[in-house]
Homo-oligomer: A and B are copies of this chain.
């Protein structure tokens, strides 16, 4: 009985990892598409090319995740499909009106997403953990965003209020879609809150995790000279 339920737990864990890599892969694929499209909004070729470069990195991450899914015997398209509605809705709700909003979305949106996945990664097997951390590790490449947004605010301080609001909007939409994903995907949620056979984080830890996410978000907004 114990072996059987341990095998079940193992299967559920594998299933949850496939879901996690699926949502991550679709997230990277769409981040790639939207960031590349947003690059076209930039008034100058330097920023346009830099944002395009950041977008191209997301595609590389997508390939790593897709290949790992295949290696695990999962079909990448099948693993990604359940997450299309939530992620597509997020992008539909957060279409930048100009290039500064596009830059903010790349920096703030992807920053908080990466933080979130890195938190989850702490509860995973070493191999999956390393993979998740690797694909979340490109914010260093986004230094040009901080500089560009700060310059834009220095040139026209009225921009700051609008971008601060936009930052709050991005976080709000992200939380809304994350809750939707969590509600619809029990197996995936199990990775965070734990299942019968696996300890997850308790409520106190969950609260601490949220505080860390919030602190990191505030730090990024402050780096842009924006209120969070």
Q: State the A residues within 8 Å of B (CB).
A: 26, 29-30, 32-34, 36-37, 39-40, 44-46, 48-49, 52-53, 55-56, 59-60, 62-63, 66, 76-77, 80-81, 84, 91
Contact = CB atoms under 8 A, between A and B. Distances in A.
Contact of A32 (B36, B45, B62, B77): B36
17 contacts: A29-B45, A32-B36, A32-B52, A32-B56, A33-B37, A33-B39, A33-B52, A36-B55, A37-B37, A37-B40, A40-B91, A45-B80, A49-B66, A49-B77, A52-B59, A53-B63, A59-B59
Nearest to A56: B59
Contacts of A66: 49
Contacts of A84: 45
Interface-centre pick from A34, A37, A63, A81 (highest chain B CB count, 10 A): A37
Copies of this chain in the oligomer = 2
Contacts of A77: 44-46, 49
Contacts of A36: 32-33, 36-37, 55, 59
Interface-centre pick from A26, A39, A49, A66 (highest chain B CB count, 10 A): A49
B33 A40 contact: yes
A36 B40 CA distance: 11
A53 B59 contact: yes
Contact of A48 (B29, B37, B45): B29
A93 to B, nearest CB: 14
A187 to B, nearest CB: 20
Given A32-B52, A33-B52, A49-B62, 15 more contacts: A29-B48, A29-B52, A33-B36, A33-B39, A33-B40, A37-B40, A45-B76, A45-B77, A45-B81, A49-B66, A52-B62, A53-B59, A53-B63, A56-B56, A56-B60
